[in-house]
């Protein structure tokens, strides 16, 4: 009823969806972008202005929990997708594809693709309001390859001396993982004691640096690994043939297997060289010491 109480002002009535409330309760809600839609707006034509002023109408509260409110799939800490409904018959529950009350175990690859395509369908149904550039207003998205296939064996892409299996407890935890060396949250900060704000902190003790601080050396190592994978045929290049002027891309990565659909974790390392930005895709595990450990499965590099 805000339109009646404030008939001289424009009021945007916002309602947090159930997914937003869940994130708010866990302290993980971050509002970074906002978009507007007129999919539920009624337009009355006017012979003079083209459309009648809607300021005198009675407005109801914004609807919540519409089927297309979810655009990106959310997952718990183990990677299992949170409940999501694609149609009345097929939905995702606790990471499993369910039809009615039965877990589907056959043709899961094709069904998973059908369910995951709902992300794009929901985005289209939002009918977002935007301004098209008359000169560079392309809205198409075209790439040179839509599907890539890799054959992984015990000999490739792993070398003879490479680690082919590892126990989570023996892997590097997040706090010593070089893939997070570029993140400010994981910079080595030995605890210090300050007498006041104007004095330099006094170290509380001698603390060993668990990972190297040579960021240039780490970047060089990543580049060498990428070059070796490319030489062995385990690096493929995808070219964007046609896209928008801003090149805004939303990426989601999933693992389909054992009758489950899991969402993979992404570590944004940042830029390597020549505007190359690398992302590490993998899984997050918790070892017996309750330490989080990231296991890298593959990497993606975006280059302008």
* Domain assignment of residue 56, yes or no: no
Q: Dmax of the chain from CA atoms?
A: 79
* Domain assignment of residue 259, yes or no: yes
Confidence of residue 128 (pLDDT cuts 50, 70, 90): confident
Range of the domain at 280: 136-304
* Domain assignment of residue 177, yes or no: yes
Q: What is the pLDDT of residue 3?
A: 46
* Domain assignment of residue 123, yes or no: no
Taking the C-alpha atoms of residue 42 and residue 54, their distance in angstroms, rounded to an integer, is 9
186-214: average pLDDT: 79
* Domain assignment of residue 275, yes or no: yes
Total number of domains constituting the chain: 1
Q: What is the pLDDT of residue 2?
A: 44
* Domain assignment of residue 270, yes or no: yes
Residue 33 CB coordination number (10 Å) = 5
β-bridge pairing 90-93 and 96-99: antiparallel
* Domain assignment of residue 1, yes or no: no
Averaged confidence pLDDT in the chain: 78
pLDDT in tens, 251-271: 888 888 777 788 899 999 988
pLDDT in tens, 273-285: 878 899 999 998 8
What residue ranges in 7-146 does DSSP mark as E strands?
Answer: 45-46, 50-51, 84-85, 90-93, 96-99, 102-103, 142-143
pLDDT in tens, 163-192: 778 888 888 888 888 888 888 877 777 888
Q: What is the pLDDT of residue 5?
A: 59
């Amino acid at each position: 009823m805000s339109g009646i109480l404030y008939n001289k002002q424009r009021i945007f009535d916002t309602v947090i969806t159930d997914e937003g409330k869940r994130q708010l309760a866990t302290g993980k809600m971050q509002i970074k972008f906002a978009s507007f839609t007129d999919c539920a707006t009624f337009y009355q034509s006017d012979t003079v202005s083209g459309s009648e002023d809607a300021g005198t109408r009675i407005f109801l509260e914004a609807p919540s929990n519409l089927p297309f409110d979810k655009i990106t799939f959310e997952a718990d800490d183990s990677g299992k997708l949170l409940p999501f409904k694609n149609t009345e018959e097929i939905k995702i529950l606790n990471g499993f594809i369910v039809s009615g009350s039965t877990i589907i175990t056959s043709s899961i690859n094709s069904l998973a693709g059908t369910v995951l395509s709902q992300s794009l369908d929901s985005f289209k149904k939002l009918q977002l309001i935007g301004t098209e550039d008359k000169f560079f207003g392309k809205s198409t998205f075209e790439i040179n390859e839509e599907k890539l296939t890799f054959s992984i064996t015990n000999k490739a892409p792993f070398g003879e001396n490479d680690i082919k299996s590892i126990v989570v407890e023996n892997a590097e935890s997040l706090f010593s993982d070089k893939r997070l060396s570029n993140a400010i949250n994981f910079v080595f900060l030995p605890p210090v004691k300050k007498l006041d704000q104007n004095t330099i902190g006094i170290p509380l003790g001698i603390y060993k640096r668990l990972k190297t601080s040579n960021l240039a050396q780490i970047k060089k190592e990543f580049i060498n690994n990428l070059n070796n994978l490319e030489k062995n045929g385990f690096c493929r290049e995808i070219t964007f043939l046609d896209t928008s002027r801003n090149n805004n891309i939303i990426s989601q990565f999933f693992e389909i297997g054992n009758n489950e659909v899991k969402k993979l974790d992404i570590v944004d390392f940042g830029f390597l060289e020549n505007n190359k930005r690398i992302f590490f895709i993998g899984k997050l595990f918790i070892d017996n010491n309750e330490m989080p450990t990231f296991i890298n499965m593959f990497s993606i590099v975006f280059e302008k």
